[in-house]
Amino acid sequence: STQSTGGAHWTKQCPYKDTLGAALDVREEETNAAKPPPRAPGTYVPPAIRKGDSGQDGSSRQRDENPTIRVSNLAEETSDKDLQELFKPFGALSRIYLAKDKNTGISKGFAYITYNYRDAAENALKHLHRYRYGHLILQVEWAKPSGS
């Protein structure tokens, strides 16, 4: 009979399998719980558990759900590129949505700008509210949550 405690090679006849087997199983479960399960290449991995994403960027700032500002009083000829050039200097942009008429493609005069970080959105709001853009004065405010 084998008296080794180092591996999982217990046989039915081993007298130590019941006493040490449970301890090894618990230790193995704890080790496996710390590791994410293996994934096949090309499968979707939620952002919260992607490699290297601990939920924080290493500084005191954390990502917000959606620090989004609403800009209104835009000219009809305003494009996505114009908005990107105007808002990008304040921080990394996550999304730009320029409301356009479905038939004509002309701007409806407002847009939503989503930043990666709240402080960038706050900075843009502070600097661009009542900013003269073309022949109009921009109105910039925090976007209201959808459904309200």
pLDDT digits (tens, 9 = 90+) for 21-62: 555 555 555 555 556 666 677 777 777 766 655 544 443 344
Q: Which residue has the tokens 């917000």?
A: 64
pLDDT value of residue 20: 58
pLDDT value of residue 43: 76
Q: Could you tell me the pLDDT band of residue 8, with boundaries at 50, 70 and 90?
A: low
Task: Report whether 93 contacts 101 (CB < 8 A).
Answer: no
pTM passes above 0.85: no
Instruction: Tell which phi-psi region holds residue 134, choosing left (phi > 0), alpha (psi between -120 and 50) or beta.
Output: left
Write out pLDDT tens, residues 63-93.
447 799 999 999 999 999 999 999 999 999 9
Residues in the chain: 148
- CB atoms under 10 Å from CB of 41, counted, come to 4
CB-count burial class (<10 Å; 0-12, 13-18, 19+) for 136 = middle
Q: Which residue has the tokens 């290493």?
A: 58
pLDDT value of residue 57: 46
Q: How many angstroms separate the CA atoms of 133 and 100, rounded?
A: 18
Write out pLDDT tens, residues 90-134.
999 999 999 999 999 999 999 999 999 999 999 999 999 999 999
Task: Report whether 109 contacts 138 (CB < 8 A).
Answer: no
Q: Helix crossing, 118-128 with 80-87: angle to 10°?
A: 100
